[in-house]
Amino acid sequence: EAGVTQFPSHSVIEKGQTVTLRCDPISGHDNLYWYRRVMGKEIKFLLHFVKESKQDESGMPNNRFLAERTGGTYSTLKVQPAELEDSGVYFCASSQDPGEGITQYFGPGTRLLVL
């Protein structure tokens, strides 16, 4: 069974540009999560999809970030325009069910560097 995949693995862009990150969850997983780790900080939750609906987007830092999950399959996270402080590693995770104690399976992350 394929795990969570993320594309690209690395992205280097200039301040003010747009970047779109993609996440493909494990097949059959309705729940999809985005997290990020900025330099020197802990990994923080961004948002949670259940199928195509945003269940919780309390961690989204500002309106420069837009997440979508068309058709309840893969998800994209767009940053527009990118700022220096957006640099970090963006992780995607998925789970079959929501709820306490349910394992979230993580992808390898996308390393974003904004210059």
Among 53, 54, 103, 115, binds other proteins (CB under 8 A): 103
Q: Which of residues 36-75 bind other proteins (CB under 8 A)?
A: 41-45, 48, 55-56, 58-59
Closer residue to other proteins (CB): 27 or 41: 41
Q: Which residue's entry shows tokens 């709820």?
A: 99
71: left (phi over 0), alpha (psi -120 to 50) or beta: left
Closer residue to other proteins (CB): 59 or 81: 59
Q: What angle do CA 113, 115, 48 make, to 5 degrees?
A: 40
Asked if 82 and 13 count as a contact pair (C-beta separation under 8 A), the reply is yes
Task: List residues binding other proteins (CB under 8 A).
Answer: 3-4, 31, 33, 35, 41-45, 48, 55-56, 58-59, 91, 93, 95, 98-109
